[in-house]
């Protein structure tokens, strides 16, 4: 089962062992398709690393998260045309868009914008992934999240025609 603890444990392992290479932002524009775009707060990086690893290693899917793709000139701290263009492109070639809702996502500069853009692009499967069972989708100023389905692992497996888990 895909639990927050499992995801975090995978993220911890990756943090200690991964070797990465930096790429120029322009290299994103050579990708033809991405299976899943994961929108999240950077502060949740440890957990997102585990989620990305699970989808890639256990399910064989291609994943986009901005910092893990090591685009050295992708500016997460400043909203600018170049970064927005790269994010739009990545969302546009993604089959599935997952908005990771956490305590940190409420203060993220990017993820609500990414969700709105993905919704407008009519990504095949779009939804919310809840990582904290205490969070509700009807928090003040985030009621709009309630219009999107909450996804679980079987939604992803079903979309990609992979065996479901019970």
Q: Which residue has the higher pLDDT, 14 or 97?
A: 97
Residue-range domains of the chain with CATH = 4-159 (3.40.50.10140)
Each residue's pLDDT tens digit, 19-69:
444 455 555 566 688 999 999 998 898 889 889 989 999 999 999 988 865
Which residues have C-beta within 8 Å of that of residue 166, sequence separation ≥ 6? none
What is the distance between the alpha carbons of residues 106 and 22, in angstroms, rounded to a whole number? 29
Rounded to an integer, the average pLDDT of 110-132 is: 90
Burial (CB < 10 A; 0-12, 13-18, 19+), residue 95, is middle
Run of H or E including 163: none
Rounded to an integer, the average pLDDT of 6-15 is: 56
**Rounded to 5°, angle at Cα 88 from 85 and 89:** 85
What is the distance between the alpha carbons of residues 111 and 41, in angstroms, rounded to a whole number? 7
Q: What is the dihedral of CA 51, 53, 57, 62, to 10 degrees?
A: 80
- Tokens 């603890």 correspond to what residue? 5
Least confident range from 6-15, 75-84, 132-141: namely 6-15
Per-residue pLDDT, 21: 45
pTM of the complete model = 0.82
Q: Kindly report the average pLDDT of the chain as a whole number.
A: 80
């Amino acid at each position: 089962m895909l639990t927050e603890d499992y995801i975090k444990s995978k993220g911890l392992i990756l943090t200690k062992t991964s070797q990465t290479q930096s790429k120029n932002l322009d290299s994103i524009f050579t990708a033809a398709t991405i299976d899943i775009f994961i929108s999240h707060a950077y502060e949740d990086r440890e957990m997102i690393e585990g989620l990305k690893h699970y989808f890639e290693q256990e399910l064989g899917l291609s994943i986009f998260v901005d910092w893990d793709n090591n685009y050295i000139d992708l500016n997460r701290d400043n909203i600018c045309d170049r970064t927005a263009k790269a994010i739009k492109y990545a969302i546009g070639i993604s089959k599935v868009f997952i908005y990771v809702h956490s305590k940190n996502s409420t203060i993220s500069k990017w993820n609500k914008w990414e969700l709105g853009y993905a919704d407008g692009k009519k990504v095949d499967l779009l939804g919310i992934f809840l990582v904290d069972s205490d969070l509700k989708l009807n928090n003040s100023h985030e009621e709009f999240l309630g219009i999107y389905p909450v996804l679980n692992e079987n939604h992803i497996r079903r979309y990609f025609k992979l065996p479901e888990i019970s």
